[in-house]
A and B are shown apart, each in its own frame.
Chain A
Amino acid sequence: MTDNIAFKDVKGLKELISSGEITPAELVDVFAERIDRYNGISKAFITPTPEDAKKQAADLSRDDLSASPFAGIPYASKDLFDVKGVLTSAGSKVFHDRVASSDAFAISKLRNAHAISLGKTNLHEFAYGATGENEVYGTCVNAYDTTRLAGGSSSGSAAAVAFGLVPAALGTDTGGSVRAPAALNGLVGLKPTIGRVPTTGVVPYCWTLDHVGLMTRTIEDCADLLGIVAGYDSSDSASVNRPVEDYTSALGQDIAGLRVGIPRNFYYDRADDEILAELERVKEFLASAGAVLVPVTFPDMEHSRTVSLTVQMPEALSAHSAYVQERGELYGTDFRAGLALGQCILAEHYVKAKRFVEVYRQETNKLFDEVDVILTPATPEIAQKLGTVKVTRNGVSEAIGNAITRYTTFFNMTGHPALTMPCGMHSEGLPIGLQLVGRYFDERTILQTAYAIERSGRFSIPLPRLAV
């Protein structure tokens, strides 16, 4: 019974609440029991907060429950989001005593929507890394194969949803840290347009590339969640003051005539053959539904990772300056090495990198003169074994973190909205994902396209068969 409930989407859970089959407090109990059962292996949560959640659930009135699609629904947030009265560890010993005095913007919006925070999830320390490996809180595993990585840096958020410990979670995405782990775990992951969801109250990693991201089981849940957490906050300099759209109204609209960009370069090179084969199936479906496939050429991607790293590390060092000074010995070895690198990058390098970002933005914008969305694989590889350091494909060896985020990083620099979703299963039993990218603030069109793919039923994947 509880397992059936645990893998329902938010919409399904709301129906159970509305029909009186379950109360929000009982729902919290279901998920809290599963966290007890699965957190040992999944390492998804750093700080579960079932007691707070039960109290919040018990206090909900009938009116509260009709306040939003997430009212009465438990969710989790990456442990970079401040939740008032709860530790924000950032997955690091450095923040072992940092209890939040107020809610992050997105958490506040969810609280007002009467969603129920069930705890804080694990991550790569301070979001620095795409594998989710964490020396302090353990490494999250993949629900489809517990000998493999969940991926990161929002590893705990992905594992929490994939293991059926919550139906939705918040993460952050600086180079793919929501989209990649979502794809590796068979979930929907959305990085909205930069500035669409304020990062206020989220521990920064790299101010100009950080995005709040969403993880859900379905596209409809994703659209509902975006409608709740999107908004404007004048205290976030990247936040954009424009109305929040009705994202769900785009779902179910015909995609006939939609122009879908298919990159000629970079995105279909050097990837697992089975991933490329699944993308071919998606293209065939889109064409059969009346969409027009349009070849597009991205700007030269040769230096894009260097550009991203050159922006990231000085910003990360600056963000951590005070803590490095006061608590430097508490950082993990790999993050300190990254911060040291940030120390040695010249100002001219940083500015040049930022100018390249502007070029990337302008050239990507031009592509959207020709197309409405762009389709790419989410990742070039499926989830890799725990402890993997490098991945070799077509004779090219690449650090696993770079491989996992190779197709996602670019859109953190340009700031365009991008969504990943499952589109098939690999013969090794792991999910395969696709990525849809849209114009600035046009999350509606990527959600519309994603919904059409999901609703076709041709790309459904099985739930994980948990062995524990």
Chain B
Amino acid sequence: MQKLQKETLTGICTQMASHTWSDAEINELVDPQLGIITGFQDLLNELEQLRKIDLGTTPPAMGVQGESK
């Protein structure tokens, strides 16, 4: 997986249906300064690890109606 470029996100946000994000907001994803959230590149790296883990037929989590444990 290549390193995330600002142009990629700008392209996504202008060429696909998206809210309007400022240059500063896109920059924050590529080069985080606020320290509130994980940088997007770090998150993508972790998500790529998750993607490779086989969860078999496990479905997405739903409600807990009927759970007794």
Q: Which residues of A contact B (CB under 8 A)?
A: 129, 193-195, 208, 237-238, 240-241, 303, 305-307, 309-310, 313, 317, 321, 324-325, 328, 333-334, 336-341, 343-345, 348-349, 351-359, 361-362, 365, 368-369, 389-390, 399, 401, 413, 415, 439-441
The residues of B that contact A240 with a CB separation of less than 8 Å are 63-65
Minimal beta-carbon separation of B59 from chain A (angstroms): 6
From A321, A334, A368, B36 is in contact (CB under 8 Å) with A334
From A194, A349, A355, A441, B47 is in contact (CB under 8 Å) with A349
Q: Known: A334-B34, A357-B60. Contact between A343 and B19, CB under 8 A?
A: yes
Q: State whether A343 touches B21 (Cβ < 8 A).
A: yes
How many Å lie between the Cα of A399 and that of B35 in the bound state?
7
Does residue B1 face the partner (Cβ distance < 8 Å to A)?
A: no
From A306, A309, A317, A356, B55 is in contact (CB under 8 Å) with A356
**Proximity string of chain B (26-60) to chain A, C-beta cutoff 8 Å, 1 when within and 0 when not:** 10110010111110100100110111000100111
How many Å lie between the Cα of A285 and that of B68 in the bound state?
29
Q: Known: A303-B49, A355-B55, A356-B50. Contact between A439 and B69, CB under 8 A?
A: yes
Q: State whether B26 touches A193 (Cβ < 8 A).
A: no
From B37, B46, B47, B68, A337 is in contact (CB under 8 Å) with B37
A-B residue pair count with CB separations less than 8 angstroms: 123
How many Å lie between the Cα of A325 and that of B19 in the bound state?
7
Q: State whether A351 touches B69 (Cβ < 8 A).
A: no
Q: State whether A309 touches B67 (Cβ < 8 A).
A: no
Q: List 8 A-B contacts (CB under 8 A).
A: A306-B46, A334-B34, A341-B37, A348-B51, A349-B50, A352-B47, A352-B55, A354-B60
Q: State whether B58 touches A340 (Cβ < 8 A).
A: no
Q: Known: A306-B46, A440-B68. Contact between A341 and B29, CB under 8 A?
A: yes
For A240, give the chain B residue with the smallest CB separation.
B65
* 10 cross-chain pairs, A with B, having the tightest CB-CB distances, nearest first: A354-B60, A357-B61, A358-B61, A440-B67, A306-B46, A365-B69, A334-B36, A337-B28, A340-B25, A340-B21
Q: State whether A306 touches B63 (Cβ < 8 A).
A: no
